[in-house]
Structure 1
């Protein structure tokens, strides 16, 4: 099965290069959907285990970002000289250039976004394709889309919300795509933009996974047990709660590493959701997404 995923990654590279999104061959795709402040970036970085996504105010992801995680054991013969013991990344648009510094990966995403979408915070349908090779990831392909925003800022077009939703719909209307609906635990689920869009195109919830972010900042005296056990949100592929890295963790003089935050998340889940701890958290989410994407091939 691992080899099958690797073959599909190569096929996706070919289709991206020739610009073919036809239905001749439909490959399963996990589409990440959420509002601007839902915590999508923290979830993605947690899954990858790296700080690599641009951050800031307003709509930061302004083009579809296809991230392929390719598990590459340290003894893998595909590791080239100089890459025997480290993780690396490549972009489709930079050819054979290899990135070993993930701060440079972040800068390249930002630079390519500015080239494709301009610097005025507008969006573009042009996809950025990024491959990440590591012995610590699961084989997985994720497409991160711009976060849904209500109010345009700066030079953004007045219909920025409609533009973003239109882009999201072109991805999730494909019946073979999987929807990763990212929703904060401290908001009203009835008004969740990601769940609303998921319900529109997947009313039975057969291909939707809900990620419940920010579990640790729910109102005092409340918890997410009813949601995490599936009592409130009808999705068939699961509801997984995570604890996001806080902005204070990121901005600290000595920022907390993603690995430290995942350890904190594990402790939080064991303390507050002891009966559900093993089926929540970033590591469980990554494992579940990999398994679900493989099953979707058949």
Structure 2
């Protein structure tokens, strides 16, 4: 483990590359969405109190590694940003990767502890929530885009200080004009009661860089007679109504548990959920391209390319202006 010697490269990558930020209430299903998007066994549950950044890069050799980025100390005071390598996970299986990620989470929540040579004490952390980041780099010849994705801790309301910290963290990440916002809504709660809607609208009033995700629709299928609820959700997915999003909303079916994830194919689960929804008259006119992970991925790629195109004129080098020679100056007089 060692400190990365050229942090400026990482800063430049983050500054000039559009990023996708996934955020939502606690237990909204955002970790499962990101897990399916990047194919990485991200930890889920109450220990998820740190931002996760997934960097996908196209390189000749495949590599997966974890690094830790520290930007605050054990008192939440800003420090000089530094990033240290933590683990090479290229050859690890999913269970081992998840264990390493959980360990990395604990180290960034204990910034005074040297991750290289100091063991963590069990269940004793300096910070409950932190701005320090667990970074995962996924690179190889199959990666088509240099694209960072960030998942933020779920917003909790059990304590005001925790809620305020998390709201501030989300606002900080989504304010950049090139950031693509992915607010995750859960179908089991009213759309108006989920604060991600307000956060997205405040950061992106035009809605042009926001695409919504609706999870937990499998729990609504059992209530086919609740026309009011189905109408609210179908209208939301179609990009209509009071809470409409310009880029609309995508219905994603995540595995309902770790056991379900092991023994059932997420794509098949999603297909079955979509077919069941389409049996309800309210959902029959919802466009098919608003369902499923593949359609969400295509929309994110579209928004990323649009964002890159807008950013490119500012980052491309301009040709230097030629300085006229003395002879040219005299001939023009």
Whole-angstrom distance in 1 between the partners of 2:206 and 2:57: 31
1:243 to 2:253 alignment? yes
Task: Give the direction of change, closer, same or farther, for the CA distance of 1:125–1:99 in structure 2 (3 Å limit).
Answer: farther
* Aligned match for 1:264, one of 262, 269, 276: 269
Residues 97 and 264 of structure 1, relative CA distance in 2, 3 Å threshold: closer
Is residue 55 of structure 1 aligned with residue 64 of structure 2? no
- Distance in 1, matches of 2:196 and 2:23, equals 6
Conservation of the 8 A alpha-carbon contact between 2:209 and 2:303:
no
Bigger Rg, structure 1 or 2 = 2
Q: Which residue is 1:11 aligned to?
A: none
The within-5 A match list for 1:1-298 is 17-18=7-8, 25-50=15-40, 52-56=41-45, 58=46, 60-70=47-57, 78-79=60-61, 89-92=64-67, 93-94=85-86, 98-118=90-110, 119-120=124-125, 122-133=128-139, 139=145, 140-152=147-159, 159-218=161-220, 219-221=223-225, 222=227, 223=230, 224-232=233-241, 233-247=243-257, 250-251=258-259, 255-257=262-264, 260-273=265-278, 276-298=287-309
The answer on whether the counterparts of 1:89 and 1:105 sit within 8 Å (CA) in structure 2 is no
CA contact 1:138–1:290 (8 Å) conserved in 2 = no
Structure 1, gaps ≥5 residues long: 1-13, 73-77, 81-87, 153-157
Measured after TM superposition, the shift of residue 42 of structure 1 is 1.2
Cα deviation, residue 136, structure 1: 7.6
1: CA distance, partners of 2:274 / 2:58: 27
Segments of 5+ residues of structure 2 without an aligned counterpart are: 68-84, 111-123, 279-283, 310-333
User: TM-score, structure 2 length as denominator?
Assistant: 0.69
Higher relative contact order (CA 8 A, sep 6+): 1
1:95 shift after superposition: 6.5
Aligned residues: 260
